[in-house]
Amino acid sequence: MLYYCLRKGMKYDPMCKRYSEAMMPAPTVESWVDSLQARGRYTFLRAEAISGSGLSAEAVKKALQRLARRQRVAKVKSYFYVVVPLEYLHAGAPPPSWFIDDLMKVMERPYYVGLLSAAGIHGASHQQPQEFQVLTDRPVRPLEVGRGRIRFFVNKRGTDTAVQNVKTPTGAMRVSTPESTAVDLVRFAKAAGHLDNVATVLMDLAPLLDPKRLLQVVRASGDLPNAQRLGYVLERVRGRPQAKVLHEWLGRQSPHVVPLRPGRNTNGALEDRRWHVRVTEPIEIET
């Protein structure tokens, strides 16, 4: 048959065409995944794997399970997968920065990378955060992807938060600006390792803060108590120029006295009259 088809020319003879198709290797999900990576793409939907490979939904499901066990792919959601390049085989998945933008688009949720993750991206973190921190408009359960963890926080005014696009190896992601990061760190102090750790991070972040943009972010948040706490902390971490603008603005807002550390008993605590905060214990900054 092969000799006959070579003489006839396979593409002109129906019998040879059928023979050629029969001799072609059957499509596999792995070869389809390989083709994605070859094109520089590292995320895909399970529905795409079904249509791209031409296999049944059940066959694709089992194939993806085998590939996940081999750490060739990582399942983020039941419908969303990440291709694992060889250099991240030990980690079980590439960093969340490689796929967070694609994931949030598929989930149809607004988002931005924030808190300690954003601070680290801006070069203002003493230690790498143990989780990738993302803010969105509604509760989302944490995700374990390989050895990494993505934790979500709710910011219903997130669409008003100042963000910037940061390039990644696979595209770009939305990250809070240094000013928005500073405001969020104080607001979500517990998630950022509490106020002492926030102060330590702000010590590195302060030189990056533009006073006018910081004031714009604070005004947009409408959160006077945390603006008072932010100003107090900034003055103690070499951020006086940035704190000065906040103080002038707060002076026109008639702020109430608030505890520096929310939830603490402030009985007998001294009031810092400049920022109208009750200080139960001093800020301790890690150097």
pLDDT of residue 24: 47
Answer whether residue 4 is part of any domain. no
pLDDT of residue 26: 53
Across the range 22-35, mean pLDDT stands at 76
- Residue 175 or 19, more confident: 175
**210 and 79 fall within a common domain:** no
Answer whether residue 286 is part of any domain. no
pLDDT of residue 87: 95
**65 and 172 fall within a common domain:** no
Range of the domain at 58: 22-94
Instruction: Convert the pLDDT of each residue in 121-169 to its tens digit.
Output: 999 866 677 899 999 999 999 999 999 999 999 998 878 899 999 999 9
**87 and 101 fall within a common domain:** no
Mean pLDDT for the chain overall: 89
Instruction: Convert the pLDDT of each residue in 58-101 to its tens digit.
Output: 999 999 999 999 999 999 999 999 999 999 999 999 999 999 99
Q: Are 94 and 145 in contact (CB under 8 A)?
A: no
CA 164 to CA 181: how far, in whole Å? 11
H/E stretch holding 106 reads: helix 100-107
pLDDT of residue 134: 98
pLDDT band of residue 13 (cuts 50, 70, 90) is low
Which residue has 């988002």 as its token pair?
111
**153 and 219 fall within a common domain:** yes
Residue type, 98: W
Across the range 2-26, mean pLDDT stands at 48
pLDDT band of residue 1 (cuts 50, 70, 90) is very low
**134 and 238 fall within a common domain:** yes
User: Which tokens is 218 given?
Assistant: 């604070």
**228 and 137 fall within a common domain:** yes
CATH at residue 57: 1.10.10.10
